[in-house]
Structure 1
C-alpha cells in the first residue's frame, strides 16, 4: 500500500522533543524503523522505549549534526544498524530572535551551524542511500523532508538571521529537488507557523517575553500537526511529490 512504510527506514534529526519527537512516533506507527538523532540521549531512549512498546523499531543515535563528522556518523550508524535509508526528516534547528543591532553574534553562529550547515551535512551524507532506496527499495521512492518555517517566506523585524537561515533552507531544497527528482528522490519543504515547542525557551528572557506577547491571543499549532504533514508527504504514491507545505495556525495572520 502507498501509505505504508513497512520495510523502510527513516532518520529524524532533532528527535528528542517537539516536531522531531512527534514525527518519529508518526513514522514508526506507519511501519518505518526510525533512527532517532539528537544530542539528549536520555530523551531519545525514552522515545525509543515508547516506540518499541507500541510495536515499532527504533535506534537511538546521540549526535550534534552541526558537527560534520557526527552528522556523517549518524547516517552511517543508521544504515549499518537498520540496513538501509529511505526517508530523512531534517528537523533539528534553533530559533534565536532579537534585533541585529548589538546582537550576540554567537547566537547567529548557532543558527547558521545547525539550521543550515547541519541540514546540509545530513542531506549530503544521506543522499547516496536515498538514491539507492529510490532505485531498489520496497516503495521505489525516497524522501528528504527539510523542516523550515514561515520565516523562510516572510522576513520580520527582530528575526533577520533566523529568516536568513530558513530562506537558505528553502533555496537549497528547491535546487536539490530539481537535481534528484527524476531519480525519484522527493525533496520537500515544510514551513510551520507558530508551534508550541521548546524553540522559544532557547531565547534570552527579554526576547521570550516579546514572542509570548505576540502569540498570547493565538492558539498555536501542536507538534503533532506538523508530524501529520510530514507523514502525509512521505506516504504519497510514487507519482506524487509534495514540494512545499506551509502550515499556519488558523489565527496567525503573517
Structure 2
C-alpha cells in the first residue's frame, strides 16, 4: 500500500517582501508547503496564489499574540502543525540614540525580539511534536554595532543570545539556526525616518545582495539530515567591510 508522505510545513513571518518572500519561493520550490504570515495580507494572498501547491496566506502581526495563536490553530487544524518555523519579521529604524525616536525604539524591540519570542512560544508545541527546525533571522548587526544602530543592534544581539540558549535547551528534538545577513536589497531602508540614516542605508543597495541568496542558504540548512545542524550563518556581500 502506497502512503503519500506528508509534506513538511514551513511558517514564514514577514513573508510579504524581502527575505520572507524569497524564502517562500525557495522553500516552495523545494517541495515544502509554505504558510505566509504578514500584516499586509493583500501581498501574501497574491504570493500564495502564485506559488500554488497548497501555499496559505494568513494575516498576522507578530506583536499581537492573539493573531499568532489564531494562525497557529489554523496551521494545526489544516496542516498538522509546523515543521520549519522561520522568524523573519523585523524592522530597521536606525538613527542616533536620543529621545526623538522613542516610539521607533519600542517598535523595533517589540517586533524584532519580542515578536520572534511570541511566535516561537505559540508554535513551540507543534515544533516539539514534529521535531522541527527553528530559524531566526538576525543580522550582521548582531555581531557589530555601528553608530546609529544602537537599538536595532540590541534587538539582534538579543536574537543571537536567545537563539543560542534555545539551541542548548531544545536539542536534539529541535534544531535552532540563526542567520545573520549583511546588506540585503530589501524594503527595510524605505521605512527609516531619520534622513541621514536612510541615505546611508540606501547607498548600500548599490552593492547589496538579493534576498534570494539568503533564501538559498536557509533552504540548504533545513534540508540537511537531522543529524547535522548549522547553528549560525553569517552572510555578507563579498564587498562588505563591516
| Structure 2 partner of 1:83 | 80
Deviation, structure 1 residue 230:
1.0
TM-score under structure 2 normalisation? 0.94
Instruction: Write the distance in 1 (CA, Å) between the matches of 2:113 and 2:200.
Output: 25
| Structure 2 partner of 1:168 | 158
Cα gap change, 1:181 to 1:205, in 2 (>3 Å): same
Deviations 1:47-81 (A, max 9, x none): 101111xxx22111001111121122222211212
RMSD: 1.4
Match of 2:114 among 114, 117, 136: 117
What 5-or-longer segments of structure 1 have no aligned partner? 135-141
Instruction: Write the distance in 1 (CA, Å) between the matches of 2:143 and 2:73.
Output: 33
Instruction: Write the distance in 2 (CA, Å) between the matches of 1:250 and 1:117.
Output: 31
Work out whether 1:229 is the aligned partner of 2:226: no
Pairwise mapping of residues 162-201 of structure 1 onto structure 2 (< 5 A)? 162-183=152-173, 185-201=174-190
Q: How many residues align?
A: 237
Alpha carbons 1:72, 1:121 under 8 Å: kept: no
Instruction: Write the distance in 1 (CA, Å) between the matches of 2:209 and 2:120.
Output: 27
| Structure 2 partner of 1:137 | none
Instruction: Write the distance in 2 (CA, Å) between the matches of 1:74 and 1:151.
Output: 30
Alpha carbons 1:6, 1:32 under 8 Å: kept: no
Instruction: Write the distance in 1 (CA, Å) between the matches of 2:70 and 2:26.
Output: 24
| Structure 1 partner of 2:19 | 19
Cα gap change, 1:227 to 1:6, in 2 (>3 Å): farther
Instruction: Write the distance in 2 (CA, Å) between the matches of 1:79 and 1:148.
Output: 27
Deviations 1:102-148 (A, max 9, x none): 431000111011001110011111111111112xxxxxxx1000000
Alpha carbons 1:91, 1:147 under 8 Å: kept: yes
Q: Which runs of 4+ in 1 moved over 3 A?
A: none
Pairwise mapping of residues 1-254 of structure 1 onto structure 2 (< 5 A)? 7-52=7-52, 56-134=53-131, 142-183=132-173, 185-204=174-193, 206=195, 207-213=197-203, 215=204, 218-254=206-242
